[in-house]
Amino acid sequence: MSDSPEFKPGKGPKASDDPEAKQNNEDELDPIEAGSKEISEETPPPPPHSLSETPGELGVEQEEETEAVKEPTKFQRFVRQALLWLGVIAGGFLAGFLTFYFVLYQPKAAALEEAESQVQALQSQLDTVTSRLETLEDADTHRSLLEAMVDAYDARLAMAQENVVAAKSALSGTTATLEGISAEIEAFDSGLASALPQRIQLIRTNLDRDLETAIADCDQLIEDLIEVEKALFQ
């Protein structure tokens, strides 16, 4: 028999126990397997369902999710449609109101304001003209009254000279002059307004009969006219 030692299987050194052999085996791994290994290590797997959840509970959750996405009811659809129509109607009313305001009301309001402004301007002009007219009327009344006073003074001067014809001529138009301003004299003294023409007629009558009485009546006429002039224009 040979003296060489027997080789017993399983008794020799294992390749996995050799560190160098293990390192060599790792280096010989396929690069694709190494890349997939790195990806699997970086991306954690999704969490599994809890072991306590049974298939029945999972079905209930799915039904609840299905009910959550159900279509709205008829009442909900009606409410939505009603709100939509209300919005359309409100928009129509608003558009109509804005159209009426900017197209019809605002131009008419502006025209009305302009017309009112013109009326106020015309009224101011009318007031000015009326004031001037009243001033002119007062001036005309004053002029007529002064003319009557001049006639009375001329007649009195003619009487002082015993010139009856000149005195009558001076008073020939005085009655008509006083009748033209009788309304203004009546505002002061209605009795005096009617007495002045009568006194003039009396003076003209007494010039042929009694000159002294005619002179006294003429002096009274002058005093009355002075009183009226002071009352109306002073």
* Residue 207, domain CATH: 1.20.120
Q: Indicate whether 228 belongs to any domain.
A: yes
Looking up tokens 């006219």 gives 225
Total tally of structural domains belonging to the chain: 1
Question: Are the C-beta atoms of 174 and 202 separated by less than 8 Å?
Answer: no
* Sign of the dihedral through C-alpha 136, 140, 145, 149: positive
Q: 163 by DSSP, 3-state: which?
A: coil
Question: What are the pLDDT tens digits along the chain (234 aa)?
Answer: 444 444 444 444 444 445 554 454 544 445 445 444 454 555 555 555 444 445 555 555 555 555 555 677 877 778 878 888 888 888 877 877 777 777 777 777 777 777 778 778 878 877 887 877 777 778 888 999 999 999 999 999 999 999 999 999 999 999 999 999 999 899 889 899 999 999 999 999 999 999 999 999 999 999 999 999 898 887
Q: Indicate whether 29 belongs to any domain.
A: no
- Tokens (6 digits) for 179: 């009748």
Q: Indicate whether 37 belongs to any domain.
A: no
- Tokens (6 digits) for 170: 């001076």
Q: Indicate whether 36 belongs to any domain.
A: no
Residues of the domain holding 194: 139-233
Q: Indicate whether 45 belongs to any domain.
A: no
Q: Indicate whether 200 belongs to any domain.
A: yes
